[in-house]
């Protein structure tokens, strides 16, 4: 875990500003020693400068292939790391930590921790000396009001990751960073893994469902067909039970999950249940609930965790989920 103190941030900001001024005056690009260059195979692909469309309807011109990318939200960082993008700094989760599924890789690549989600510090961005900044429009990491400030530091791309799968996000990031080949390679490798695992496992009889089990007194989101979680299990050979949309308790309908009350869980019909954000041990909380004893998956003894990191799907967590399913059913 890497965290910044304000003092350290200011010092870095000062150094960053000084370096920027020094290099700007000598018409140099980013400091050569500090830059994390993209891998040779992907260097300078495509045409530069290029213009990308932003999620807020504007467009951004990127003069040359980015060599120092800053992601203001932790949500897209996993995908950037997976496609070997030269990401040098990123916002982190609450408590200043990375997502578990790629924390080791972030540490290994010396990723600078800008701030915990919900915070913003322009000086920290400047100190990272970016040549591309990526901002998101959804979640607590959204910084749509700060785009103008960020644009004064470096070209800034606005992404809506909430409305797309990590594969679509990877392709979008690939266009902005000139790493289309890397993005496609990441997707292809994952698809190959899915095909491999789908062929290696014996899928249990009947249908399956995916539940974020919170117990009585709270809503229990159930994955809908067409959502990224359902899609992933279907690509592994499972047939997903689509929950009744009338169970939804929230004002806004969602395409990926139905927020169901605890008592509606009694209506589930699948023989297999996967519990979101849980390992197999934690998932047994569902199986041991006294009221749910007659739910088919519980009666069949087929309640499994989908993995502790399964809530947020990125290349790393999706791979964890697929490997876990392989371990369960092969």
- Cα gap 282→308, rounded to integer Å: 9
Which letter does DSSP use for residue 41 in this model? Answer: G
Binding mask 258-287 for another protein (x = CB under 8 A): --xxxxx-x---------------------
CB of 264 to another protein, least distance (A): 6
Of positions 49, 63, 199, 216, contacts another protein by CB under 8 A: 216
For 299, list phi and psi in degrees, rounded to 5. -60, -35
| Contact by Cβ (8 Å): 80, 95 | no
Q: Which is nearer to another protein, 31 or 296 (CB)?
A: 296
CB of 13 to another protein, least distance (A): 23
CB of 268 to another protein, least distance (A): 11
Question: Hey, which residues between 91 and 120 contact another protein (CB under 8 A)?
Answer: 93-94, 117-118
Burial class (CB in 10 A: 0-12, 13-18, 19+), 324: buried
Which residues, in sequence order, are bridge partners of residue 53? 59
Q: Which is nearer to another protein, 93 or 209 (CB)?
A: 93
- Cα gap 71→53, rounded to integer Å: 17
CB of 306 to another protein, least distance (A): 17
Which residues, in sequence order, are bridge partners of residue 275? 211, 305
- Cα gap 321→109, rounded to integer Å: 24
Contact region with another protein (CB under 8 A), list: 103-111, 174-182, 187-195, 245-253? 245-253
How many chain residues touch another protein (CB under 8 A)?
Answer: 25
Sheet containing 220-223: which strands, arranged edge to edge? 257-260, 220-223, 208-211, 272-275, 303-305
* Residue 215 is a binding residue for another protein (CB under 8 A): yes
Q: Which is nearer to another protein, 49 or 215 (CB)?
A: 215
In the complex, the residues that contact another protein under the rule CB under 8 A are 93-94, 117-118, 140, 215-219, 246-250, 260-264, 266, 290-291, 293-294
């Amino acid at each position: 875990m890497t965290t910044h103190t304000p003092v350290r941030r200011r010092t870095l900001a000062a150094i960053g500003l000084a370096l920027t001024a020094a290099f700007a005056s000598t018409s140099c690009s980013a400091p050569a020693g500090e830059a994390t260059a993209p891998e040779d195979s992907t260097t300078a692909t495509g045409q530069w400068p290029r213009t990308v469309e932003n999620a807020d309807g504007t467009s951004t011109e990127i003069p040359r292939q980015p060599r120092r990318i800053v992601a203001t939200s932790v949500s897209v960082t996993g995908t950037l790391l997976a496609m070997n993008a030269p990401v040098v700094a990123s916002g982190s989760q609450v408590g200043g930590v990375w997502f578990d599924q790629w924390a080791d890789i972030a540490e290994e690549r010396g990723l600078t921790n800008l701030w915990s989600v919900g915070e913003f510090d322009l000086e920290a961005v400047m100190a990272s000396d970016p040549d591309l900044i990526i901002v998101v429009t959804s979640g607590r990491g959204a910084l749509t009001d700060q785009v103008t400030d960020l644009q004064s530091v470096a070209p800034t791309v606005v992404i809506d990751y909430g409305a797309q799968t990590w594969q679509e996000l990877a392709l979008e990031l690939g266009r902005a960073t000139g790493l289309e080949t890397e993005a496609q390679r990441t997707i292809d490798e994952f698809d190959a893994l899915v095909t491999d695992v789908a062929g290696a496992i014996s899928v249990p009889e009947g249908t399956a469902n995916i539940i974020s089990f919170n117990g009585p007194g709270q809503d229990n989101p159930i994955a809908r067909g067409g959502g990224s979680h359902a899609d992933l299990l279907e690509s592994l050979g499972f047939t997903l039970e689509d929950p009744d949309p009338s169970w939804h308790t929230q004002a806004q309908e969602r395409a990926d999950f139905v927020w169901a009350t605890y008592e509606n869980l009694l209506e589930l019909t699948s023989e297999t249940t996967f519990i979101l954000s849980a390992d197999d041990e934690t998932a047994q909380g569902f199986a041991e609930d006294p009221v749910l004893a007659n739910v088919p998956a519980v009666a069949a003894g087929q309640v499994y965790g989908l993995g502790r990191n399964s809530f947020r799907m990125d290349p790393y967590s999706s791979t964890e989920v697929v490997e876990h399913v392989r371990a369960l059913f092969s």
